[in-house]
Amino acid sequence: EVQREPVSKRVIHIDFQAVAAGETVEVAVPLTFLGEPQGVIEGGAPQMHRHELLVSCLPANLPSGIEVDISGLGLHAHLTAAGIALPQGVSLAGDPEELIVAVTSPSGAAQEAAEDVAEEAAANDADA
């Protein structure tokens, strides 16, 4: 745990935890999302529900982060924790059905605005 001074953000306290080399630990590891979902090209919007994943492993196998390729997600598709490829020696410690990313349709107002822009672009193309 790291505690920081609220204004300057200077570190004022750190707690460390001793870990035995042969003992499995559970740690929340940050996720890095790679690529643009196919569903965004189809007019959707990505919704990142989680930015870290609870994993279990030996300290020697602990990754500093996990890269997740989301470029294959289409419109109305989602990715759960079970769908993330984990490094060797690392296993999922949290709920495998936990939602990580979903590609959703834009809300009504946003969808209407996007349709208006598309109509204007089509009209401009027809005039040219």
Residues 92, 93, 98, 103: is their CA dihedral positive or negative? negative
**What is the reported pTM?**
0.70
pLDDT of residue 18: 80
Q: What is the mean pLDDT of the chain?
A: 87
Count CB neighbours of 86 within 10 A.
17
- Tokens 């999922």 appear where? 92
**What are 90's two structure tokens?**
């690392």
Q: Residue 35: which region, alpha, beta or left (left: phi > 0; alpha: psi -120 to 50)? A: left
Determine contact, residues 115/67, Cβ cutoff 8 Å: no
The pLDDT assigned to 109 comes to: 43
* Residue-level pLDDT, tens digit, the chain, 128 residues: 789 999 999 999 998 878 888 899 999 999 999 999 999 999 999 999 999 999 999 999 999 999 999 999 999 999 999 999 999 999 999 999 999 999 998 764 455 555 555 566 666 666 55
- Domains annotated for the chain, with CATH where assigned, are 23-127 (2.170.120.20)
The pLDDT assigned to 114 comes to: 54
